[in-house]
Amino acid sequence: MNVYLIVDHCKKEIADLKSKLSKIEPECKVYHSTTVEDALLLYVLHKPQLVFLEVNLKNENGFELIHGLLELGEHPNFAITTKNESFAIKAIRSSAVDYLLKPIAIEDLQFCLNRVQTMEYEEMEKQRMTELFLKLQIQKRVTIKNRVGFEVIKPEEILFCKADRNYTDIKLVDGTSLTTSTTLGSVVQQLTSKVFFRIGRSAVINLDYLKSVNRKDKQCLLSCNSEIYKLPMSPNRVQELSRVLN
């Protein structure tokens, strides 16, 4: 159910706008206020989707409501409702959703409400994509258990991983090493990037650092920071590696 707030000093015009809103959205909830102070309270309490604001209030400037809400950290959607066209430019500069001249035509009101719904959908999609992006960013981390807890590293920091029974030794590109009680298979499940390749039952390498493969000696060479690392490689993985690289 959508919630709206009407801010106007004229009770007749409040009733007219309420009636038109009810015709378009019979189940909507509409609050109203004749002062900026009361409007601030109603907004904070009910968080309306849209505020219909008469800027030329009795003894008050309706734009004070916008400034007040912004100072509270709120970001209201509002539509200017007035008989005076001279407020149009200021309304635009205040980022109003719409500018409705009184008497408000129901067609113009419908267009205004549709615009708000579109804006809300786009904002929801933006938020959803942001959350998805953050989730993907979080997933681009590898959790390495240790004796006191765990370490979180980026996959690209890993040079290679070697199994040692129920433990896994992890060599990082900065030259340091980690040992975890997690099996190699469990570590591999976290390495979803295609840059990692399993060269046998006991080792996984980062292909970005692959220097050469020796079929005769059944080993591959990794080069990182002027260091060379030799790792045993299963013969049946050599052909698969060649296919992957090509």
**CATH 3.40.50.2300: does it fit domain 3-136?**
yes
- Collapsing DSSP states into helix, strand and coil, what is residue 1? coil
CA distance 66 to 182: 56
Rg (CA), the chain: 32
- CATH fold, domain 142-245, is OB fold (Dihydrolipoamide Acetyltransferase, E2P) (2.40.50)
Q: Encode the chain (246 residues) as per-residue pLDDT tens digits.
A: 899 999 999 999 999 999 999 999 999 999 999 999 999 999 999 999 999 999 888 888 888 898 899 888 888 898 989 887 766 555 555 568 888 989 999 999 999 999 988 888 788 877 776 665 566 555 577 888 888 888 889 899 999 999 988 899 999 999 999 999 889 998 988 887 889 999 999 999 999 999 999 988 999 999 999 999 999 999 889 888 988 887
Q: Are 88 and 43 in contact (CB under 8 A)?
A: no
User: Per-domain residue ranges for the chain?
Assistant: 3-136, 142-245
- Collapsing DSSP states into helix, strand and coil, what is residue 78? strand
Residues in the chain: 246
**Predicted pLDDT at 167:** 92
| Bridging pattern class, strands 3-7 and 29-33 | parallel
CA distance 8 to 34: 5
CB-based contacts of 41, cutoff 8 Å, min separation 6: none
**Predicted pLDDT at 24:** 95
| Model confidence pTM above 0.75 | no
